[in-house]
Structure 1
């Protein structure tokens, strides 16, 4: 049996192991990776201010015809086109870049017009299959004239398509929209600016190439954030403009307002750049839980698409809003720091650029773009003029041209014959040969000569631009101005010099026992102040006592019903027509300022709005007066009852009854009557006046219905009650009685009325529970008083809306008739000087 041959041994391939230096390989590979990230992803080009992905998105949208006047298309379609043809990276990176270019809070001048949910400062966008996009108007300026050889094109990643190396960029996009990105070993963070200001600076540099940074900063004073806000301190801005690196602080725009009738608050209408409301709320809650912030009762986010940003931070009573705002700036992102790091690609190399260098790079790019566009247009028009001139020659003898073409054996022979006979160039002859017979119908010598003249004029203009550097620069500057006029808007961010922080003294020592936010400086000091209630129901407080006491200043507000001297952290009582007293904290009342000696109570609030919840006024209930809680108060009713109430009020209650009313009676007046010699003055609708000393009424506790004050006839009622200090009542013209009469058939607010002003001293004092004396003689047609009150001189008057009215200057005897007035008078009162003097005397007592 034959033996099988032995199997051949397997052949082992020779080993191919190459020894390399790991450190050298890592260095080379890392540098290649770093260069790829820097050049192809993270850093913008200083000429158009775009990263490659942004540039490819805009170029592809322009190629797809997604112009602003066309309809939106799905964002996913744009992402797919960009990824498939130009950008060899993930779809999420492309979509994120597209979304950012559509967000008005991220870019000062958005380049993409988004339709759908493109997110917010606190939330991300919807998926690309749900959103739609097209080019914004500003994107047209970025991609304009791409078909006129204005920039170089380069192949895409697989050499199947071409893409522009840079966009023409008809405005300085890098400065207008800013940029941010993190590369390998470097990063960029550039602030947005106002288009009009940037264009103004660029035009100045174009027309004045020797301009300095200081010259440019007169046009570009600082960044202009899309979200507005306030930039405080411009030293960092100047440093960044000079060196390319710097920082500045940006604050939210805040105002202190009366957010409710009883609470003041801080209203935020503009936030720092890229800071959302939810972030602010979370940081406020975090700081409050850590005891860094006090004085805040609630935070409301009222932001919406229609009204924009609006956050309301309600404050607790007793805290200084300015001090709380300073703590908010300190502990929350309501104030942030923006670090400028102007790193961009210049000639494919990353460089840190100052403002002047950034503008110079853009200006050089734009001049080059306009020069190339002008050359391209000149070449096109010269080519067309050459053809038109050939047509003009041929059109003069078109029959011979046709005969030559028909007689020729081929097109080459026809071309040669045309060139020989008509002295045409090869281009002109070919153009004539390519004409169709039907085209000959629209050619005429006149039309061709007009086109020739127009082309010659355009060629002359284009040639002039290319031959003159000054004219070229002027053209660039004019085009920039057109873009600014079309797309520019007003500045949003306020630029402020370094501000002094609001006075906030933080007690951080170990013995203080308080956190910085709990420092007493956050709380409003218990300073003397006034509380005012006008006859039209306006309530306010002011600390400007000196202005109220100044006798030479006139105040354009309605008549003051009450003026109480108190303190900022004190309380006053509101006496209502239903016979109850309501405790009101002064701190929660709306503050007003005295400007130029004028107290504008319209800055305050309605007393009925201030009294909410359990303190709310009932139907037909009104606040009669404000009184201090530590003085004896006299209260009178329409039925003629009177009561002096001792100030033994409950400390743990907000409201209580101070007089028991019977038979639908109601309180008509209340005032301090602490001294026994003070005068109590009643006026009835039947024109009877009664005055007697307060000593005739013994002070009582809160319960009880008082005693008889004025005896009234049937159907009569008390319409006015006042407490006049004894000194004023005994002094001639120290106090006056103002009465206004009317008839039963006179419509309210219409017709004439009679008004009388009489010295109170003319009215004799009578005993308590008597009818008093006549205070006004009625004329024919008059039968009752519509208004009556004893006030400290000089008396003031107003209508129901608070407008001032003039009282007769002449004093009439007590039983005399009134003087006819044309304008209705609905309220009378003492002057603020007299009221404040009386209030101070009561407070000092």
Structure 2
């Protein structure tokens, strides 16, 4: 019978209604949601630099055995394993995180090796069912030693599996790869850095815990973005390193090239971080259509996998490419800003960290990892030693051991009797009972004794390591250096000190106003780097009466100079290259230093700044004004003088027609009253009057300058100004061609130029150094006033005392000399 509609409900089904304050409930629920987002999704841990989903992906892939030496598996399988066991937040979120870990343009050191379409700067990736993945080699360094109790494990979402609270992290992943994330009420945005530089700073901080930020920035001068590009202005970077917050500008790497007869263009080879070529092209078209950008003829994208990024922007005839480029920087993503906001979790709390704090948190974690790993290994080796010693006791009296076992009623009695008769522990007795008979040979005894001795040595080392804070830090430093050597790559992003970051205006504003057209001096160091030194205005202390400006301080660290040219910030000068070209450029974007602290070794590489081809380098800088003729010397002994009026108004031209296999070894302005000097690899020196070389047109091939023996070549060509012959010296460095370059310091000699007779052009030279036993070539030579030698790293090297005879042998050098120049003049 149906129940009555008006019958009262059973007691168990009585409604239970509670009055809840809506504001209180919303606050509590929102706080729980915010807590979950902050700690479980959006912010990375400062120790391993990973968000929970990233950490779970790497750990689960390691558990699946997806090592770099094994085949790829479908990304969908990885996503399914991670979602089912560790991360129940949806497959799309997991796959998005997996994709980012595999993108070389997003991470400085990718952690996943992806196979298939993992997206580009302009397009998204293919679906998970189409792509495949496995761990990248660097990911193994993050997940190593997890089975050695190096970190704590916590339950997964349903308590069925265990997952690491943090990874071991053999390198500072947070600084190296950066991160981005938006939480509730806070966000993080960290820039990638160079692994080698970060490790160098970390090891320095290990050795010097009180190191200042300035000291650390000597190792980490700024971010190193995966796509390269140029960072303009380091003030914002320094602010971020100090406080955790700052902003810097990034620019595309652009070169001005000839696209055809009387047609110039801008070639973009590197873009700002996370900016794609399609986005740049779209913004250029929008600016041209809106009449905000003029001078653009066309834009073509020639980017491919073989040649990399190449975006060509054609310039209309009559427009200055530099001025157009400045408009592009203002109106398009060719210039972008990056806001650093270093927010990460430290002991479960979100904190904003500077560079030193980030390194300190990581190093504390790494020291703890090495300590726990060492304790684990010590305990395992002690346990094994205990068993080995018991087994050796059994082998020494194996007949009695067998008799005890055979006369025992059961295993329990056998274990007890073995412990009593041979004074063994329970673990040792149990191990002996499980022993196989084939282990009872003499050879096994020798093996056990060898293993015992090795275990004792390893135990002693581990005990010593755990008992010394100094040794622990040294071990951490060695492992960091090993990671940097294995996974580190050269810096990709060029750092230019362009002043503080300014708010960009979309209104038309001349880019020339950003940097004043002030007097400056451009230096080319002996190691091939360029820097721009600001010159103080006339009237200040130390004024040069002849020029009205004050030159830079004469001496400073790393100041071996090959060339120096006085110009203005937006003026043009020429760079003579080894390929016989003269490249016209403006020093406006060169690193700038005050006039009293010239450090060319801290500048930028000349070949990189000018975009030279591989194997081509700058041999000299020259002014592009009405000056004395420019003298050029080649490795085959050819000499040429060309009038500067022939080259003053050209952009990128050939100034000498080189024979096959020849190259320019030196160039300098050479008035008629100066002298030209050649030095060859077989230690021959020739000096002759510059007036004997008549000036030629820029397309001429030059004339015979020095007669060089077969199989030899000129290693130096220079100009000695009139009036300096008595002060000039000749520096030669002898070496052997049978060893690797830089393996032997060789011998050096410094002698007066007056010791060498002046001869005619196109003749042979005189001996400049007698070779010691084992030496057969000159590796370096230089002629001038006040020589300065530097090593391959730019550090100053000591030269022998001047005054040696012309044909004397050299004195052994203490360290390898990489280049020779002069002090700042």
| Shorter-chain TM band | 0.5 to 0.7
Which of 796, 800, 803 does residue 701 from structure 2 map onto? 803
Q: Shift of residue 370 of structure 1?
A: 0.4
| 2:363 matches 1:303 | no
Against the structure 1 CA distance between its residues 494 and 798, is the aligned structure 2 distance closer, same or farther, given a 3 Å change threshold? closer
Against the structure 1 CA distance between its residues 602 and 93, is the aligned structure 2 distance closer, same or farther, given a 3 Å change threshold? farther
Secondary structure of 2:68's partner?
Answer: coil
Q: Shift of residue 223 of structure 1?
A: 0.6
Corresponding position of 1:271 = 271
Q: Please say if residues 154 and 165 of structure 1, whose CA atoms lie closer than 8 Å, have aligned partners that are also in contact.
A: yes
Against the structure 1 CA distance between its residues 554 and 167, is the aligned structure 2 distance closer, same or farther, given a 3 Å change threshold? closer
Corresponding position of 2:436 = 436
How many residues are paired up? 566
Alignment of 1:354-433 (within 5 A): 354-433=354-433
Corresponding position of 2:655 = 600
Q: Shift of residue 444 of structure 1?
A: 2.7
Corresponding position of 1:320 = 320
Deviations 1:194-229 (A, max 9, x none): 001110111111122222222211111111100111
CA distance in 1, matches of 2:695, 2:301: 45
Q: Please say if residues 293 and 517 of structure 1, whose CA atoms lie closer than 8 Å, have aligned partners that are also in contact.
A: no
Corresponding position of 2:474 = 474
CA distance in 1, matches of 2:254, 2:118: 27
| 2:343 matches 1:288 | no
Corresponding position of 2:179 = 179
Q: Shift of residue 796 of structure 1?
A: 7.7
CA distance in 1, matches of 2:337, 2:457: 56
Q: Shift of residue 130 of structure 1?
A: 1.0
Q: Please say if residues 298 and 314 of structure 2, whose CA atoms lie closer than 8 Å, have aligned partners that are also in contact.
A: yes
Q: Please say if residues 326 and 511 of structure 2, whose CA atoms lie closer than 8 Å, have aligned partners that are also in contact.
A: no
Q: Shift of residue 406 of structure 1?
A: 1.3
Corresponding position of 1:233 = 233
Deviations 1:156-203 (A, max 9, x none): 111111000000000000000000000111100000000011101111
CA distance in 1, matches of 2:44, 2:69: 29
Mind listing any 5+ residue stretches in structure 2 that lack a counterpart? 515-571, 573-580, 587-621, 659-692, 706-761, 763-825
Against the structure 1 CA distance between its residues 520 and 184, is the aligned structure 2 distance closer, same or farther, given a 3 Å change threshold? closer
Secondary structure of 1:385's partner?
Answer: helix
| 2:156 matches 1:156 | yes
| 2:40 matches 1:43 | no
TM-score (ref. length: structure 2)? 0.64
CA distance in 2, matches of 1:226, 1:346: 26
Q: Please say if residues 189 and 339 of structure 1, whose CA atoms lie closer than 8 Å, have aligned partners that are also in contact.
A: yes
Corresponding position of 2:8 = 11
Q: Shift of residue 105 of structure 1?
A: 0.5
Q: Shift of residue 549 of structure 1?
A: 6.4
CA RMSD of aligned residues (A): 3.8
| 2:125 matches 1:142 | no
Corresponding position of 1:350 = 350
Q: Please say if residues 395 and 444 of structure 1, whose CA atoms lie closer than 8 Å, have aligned partners that are also in contact.
A: no
| 2:340 matches 1:332 | no
| 2:52 matches 1:55 | no
Secondary structure of 2:491's partner?
Answer: coil
CA distance in 1, matches of 2:205, 2:122: 40
Q: Please say if residues 293 and 518 of structure 1, whose CA atoms lie closer than 8 Å, have aligned partners that are also in contact.
A: no
Q: Shift of residue 260 of structure 1?
A: 1.9
Against the structure 1 CA distance between its residues 566 and 259, is the aligned structure 2 distance closer, same or farther, given a 3 Å change threshold? closer
Secondary structure of 2:260's partner?
Answer: coil
CA distance in 2, matches of 1:68, 1:396: 47
Corresponding position of 2:82 = 82
Corresponding position of 1:201 = 201
Q: Shift of residue 14 of structure 1?
A: 3.9
Q: Shift of residue 437 of structure 1?
A: 2.4
Against the structure 1 CA distance between its residues 56 and 554, is the aligned structure 2 distance closer, same or farther, given a 3 Å change threshold? closer
CA distance in 1, matches of 2:79, 2:146: 21
Secondary structure of 1:239's partner?
Answer: helix
CA distance in 1, matches of 2:467, 2:584: 74
CA distance in 1, matches of 2:505, 2:59: 57
CA distance in 1, matches of 2:302, 2:331: 22
Alignment of 1:471-620 (within 5 A): 471-498=471-498, 591-592=651-652, 600=655
Against the structure 1 CA distance between its residues 257 and 209, is the aligned structure 2 distance closer, same or farther, given a 3 Å change threshold? same
Q: Please say if residues 244 and 354 of structure 1, whose CA atoms lie closer than 8 Å, have aligned partners that are also in contact.
A: yes
Q: Shift of residue 517 of structure 1?
A: 8.0
Against the structure 1 CA distance between its residues 266 and 399, is the aligned structure 2 distance closer, same or farther, given a 3 Å change threshold? same
Q: Shift of residue 257 of structure 1?
A: 1.0
CA distance in 2, matches of 1:26, 1:64: 42
TM-score (ref. length: structure 1)? 0.62
Corresponding position of 2:113 = 113
Q: Please say if residues 72 and 134 of structure 1, whose CA atoms lie closer than 8 Å, have aligned partners that are also in contact.
A: yes
CA distance in 1, matches of 2:647, 2:418: 110
Deviations 1:508-560 (A, max 9, x none): 8xxxxxx6689999xxxxxxx9xxxxxxxx999999x9978667556899999
Corresponding position of 1:664 = none
Against the structure 1 CA distance between its residues 175 and 806, is the aligned structure 2 distance closer, same or farther, given a 3 Å change threshold? closer
Secondary structure of 2:433's partner?
Answer: helix
CA distance in 2, matches of 1:541, 1:203: 42
Q: Please say if residues 47 and 166 of structure 1, whose CA atoms lie closer than 8 Å, have aligned partners that are also in contact.
A: yes
Corresponding position of 1:94 = 94
CA distance in 2, matches of 1:446, 1:104: 52
Q: Shift of residue 266 of structure 1?
A: 1.0
Against the structure 1 CA distance between its residues 142 and 539, is the aligned structure 2 distance closer, same or farther, given a 3 Å change threshold? closer
CA distance in 2, matches of 1:272, 1:385: 58
- Please tell me whether Structure 1 or Structure 2 has the larger radius of gyration of its CA atoms: 1
Q: Please say if residues 505 and 519 of structure 1, whose CA atoms lie closer than 8 Å, have aligned partners that are also in contact.
A: no
Against the structure 1 CA distance between its residues 261 and 542, is the aligned structure 2 distance closer, same or farther, given a 3 Å change threshold? farther
Against the structure 1 CA distance between its residues 296 and 480, is the aligned structure 2 distance closer, same or farther, given a 3 Å change threshold? same
Structure 1 runs of 4+ aligned residues shifted over 6 Å read 4-8, 517-521, 538-543, 545-549, 555-561, 563-568, 794-799
CA distance in 2, matches of 1:6, 1:80: 50
Q: Please say if residues 148 and 376 of structure 1, whose CA atoms lie closer than 8 Å, have aligned partners that are also in contact.
A: yes
Alignment of 1:14-29 (within 5 A): 14-29=14-29
Corresponding position of 1:248 = 248
Deviations 1:614-673 (A, max 9, x none): xxxxxxxxxxxxxxxxxxxxxxxxxxxxxxxxxxxxxxxxxxxxxxxxxxxxxxxxxxxx
Q: Shift of residue 446 of structure 1?
A: 1.8
Q: Please say if residues 415 and 426 of structure 1, whose CA atoms lie closer than 8 Å, have aligned partners that are also in contact.
A: yes
Alignment of 1:639-788 (within 5 A): none
Secondary structure of 1:444's partner?
Answer: helix
Q: Please say if residues 592 and 601 of structure 1, whose CA atoms lie closer than 8 Å, have aligned partners that are also in contact.
A: no
Q: Please say if residues 294 and 517 of structure 1, whose CA atoms lie closer than 8 Å, have aligned partners that are also in contact.
A: no
Deviations 1:548-586 (A, max 9, x none): 86675568999999x999999xxxxxxxxxxxxxxxxxx
Mind listing any 5+ residue stretches in structure 1 that lack a counterpart? 509-514, 522-528, 530-537, 569-589, 594-598, 604-793, 808-821, 823-845
| 2:450 matches 1:450 | yes
